[in-house]
A and B are shown apart, each in its own frame.
Chain A
Amino acid sequence: MVDSSQQAAIVGIGQTEFSKNSGRSEQQLAAEAILLACQDAGINPHDIDGMTTFSLDNSDEVDVMRSLGCKDINYTTRLPQGGAASVATVVHAKNAVESGMCDTFVIWRAMNERSQYRFGQPAMSISPDAHSSTFLEWCFPFGAQTPAAWEALSCGPYLDKFGVTSEDLGRIAVLMRKHAATNPASWFYEKPITLDDHQQSRWIVEPWLRLLDCCQESDGGVALVITRMDRAKDLKQKPAKILGAEYSMLFNHEIISDFYEGDLITHDIANRVTDKLAASCDVAPKDTDVAMIYDNFTPQILRQLEGFKYCGVGEAKDYIKDGHMELDGKSPLSPNGGLMGEGYIHGMNNITEGVRQLRGTAANQVKDAETVFLASGVAGAILGK
């Protein structure tokens, strides 16, 4: 563990509005979000010296530097695995600033993922050796062509084994929209849903995923600024310390099309991340005050709750049903409404919400939140005051 003055902290958050049609370029969304995050922190974007984003992000580092006037970057990298990269970005940021390689590290993700292209639709053509085409090759000719189809195929054995019903999944869908309904930044603001609405919503993938089991397709940009605690004390905001941030990629596992390894019941990767967090910062996800868990589709919440050891294997549907993840429960889940309720900026809007919860500025503020757990399947981070 590093000396407390050298510990990494999130000191700035920025986000554009989340919409279905931003009306401007992805480059602009990226630049706006980064500028907002820097202004929030009280730093000049000229001083950014490290940056990361997703391999899927369309804005080039050169263009980001050009817009913001960043002078000299010491470290940049891009992360694989789609939205699973969201919390993994925090792992890289932490290492970059705690090692001394960077002082002012920026993470961004910006996309017109509704107005320009849609992750929910099949890609009609793909270069045979394009990134991830090696995974699609084994799914596409069989009509499993969307993230929802891969997710349902991968989670099927788990859902079948524990007799998870569509109503069980619906309770997660309802909870996310309940939180979104009182968050003005959400698509589902003032639009809560009932379990009956969920049951009446059309099938996206039989026999598991209805429309309301799915996250949104959204336009928007999100950015974070990370530095060390010795520098954070001079900045504008109360820092959100990164107490621990861990990542794991295990042999033969794909991300959403995870078919080929393990028993498809236990979440081996999340288990591994949880063990690493226990070793590096001695905090268990279940003991934190707020749970920001990547919610692309409802079954993913169940499998991660078990993988990150909130409850035993097969118990997650009852853990939800028993109310533990309500705003006044033991582990409130995504008070912003998550990726289903607020918007889908590939997981990054769940991180800005985690920071707001620690600052005490969230729309749905959890009382006395001292710690937050951020999770995206292959990565987990513990934030603290």
Chain B
Amino acid sequence: MRPDPIQRIDTAFFWDACERGELVAQKCEACDLLWHPPRPICPTCHSMEKAMQKLSGKGRLLSWVKQARPAAFGFPESPVAILVELEEGIRLVSNLEGVDVDDIKVGMALQVDFAKTSNDKAVPIFRAAGAS
């Protein structure tokens, strides 16, 4: 298992969507700017009217690490943590699963999936695109 996400008032929508199997980001209702991480106000036009946009879940790998010492807290074994750039142009930290460390390539195409956490919450993870 893995630790539950830290949830805050401003970010609960993101983690709730994960429990439904959806990857989402905030979008400004007024000017259509899409962003991550979430924030209370649009940094461009300062509107407080925010929508939630469902994302394609397709992206590419920018970098990866595996925390060797200390081992990752809350995991049976340290996972591969990655930085992903999504098709929509935003970035997030996640995990890569189902790919051997020797086969990880910067730039590889990824597809989102979801993993359960210890108290039945969920977080987005990624797999190699095209893998079943």
Contacts and interface: CB of A to CB of B under 8 A. Distances in A.
The answer to whether A and B interact is yes
Interface of A: 120-122, 124, 126, 128-129, 133-134, 136-146, 148-149, 152-157, 160, 202-208, 211, 251-252, 259-260, 264
27 contacts: A121-B70, A129-B8, A134-B8, A134-B37, A137-B11, A138-B37, A139-B93, A140-B3, A141-B117, A141-B123, A142-B94, A143-B79, A149-B81, A153-B81, A153-B83, A156-B83, A203-B68, A203-B69, A204-B68, A205-B65, A205-B67, A206-B65, A206-B101, A207-B65, A251-B43, A252-B43, A259-B83
Contact of A145 (B67, B68, B106): B67
A154 B6 CA distance: 21
Given A128-B8, A143-B81, A120 B70 contact: yes
B48 interface: no
A4 B75 CA distance: 59
A204 B43 CA distance: 37
Contacts, number: 123
Contacts of B123: 141-142
A251 B75 CA distance: 33
Contacts of B64: 153, 156, 207
B4 interface: yes
A136 B6 contact: yes
Contacts of B78: 143
B92 interface: yes
A128 B93 contact: no
A128 B106 contact: no
B95 interface: yes
Contacts of B63: 152-157, 160, 264
B54 interface: no
Interface of B is mostly: loop
Interface in B1-46: 2-8, 11, 36-37, 43
Given A138-B93, A139-B93, A145 B73 contact: yes
A124 B73 contact: yes
Nearest to A139: B93
B35 to A, nearest CB: 9
Contacts of A128: 6-8
B122 to A, nearest CB: 10
Contacts of A154: 63, 83
Interface in B84-112: 90-95, 101, 106
A128 B4 CA distance: 12
A143 B2 contact: yes
Contacts of A207: 64-66
A89 to B, nearest CB: 28
A149 B8 contact: no
Given A129-B8, A153-B83, A143 B95 contact: yes
Contacts of A124: 73
Given A137-B11, A153-B63, A264-B62, A144 B43 contact: no
A205 B94 contact: no
Contact of B37 (A141, A157, A202, A260): A260
Contacts of A157: 62-63, 83, 106
B73 A202 contact: no
**Closest 10 interchain pairs by CB?**
A156-B63, A143-B72, A144-B81, A203-B68, A206-B66, A137-B6, A122-B73, A152-B65, A143-B79, A141-B5
A203 B64 CA distance: 14
B106 A160 contact: yes
Given A139-B81, A140-B6, A149 B37 contact: no
A137 B67 CA distance: 17
B53 to A, nearest CB: 17
A141 B6 contact: yes
A140 B117 CA distance: 12
B106 A144 contact: no
Nearest to B81: A144
Contacts of A205: 65-68
Contacts of B79: 142-143
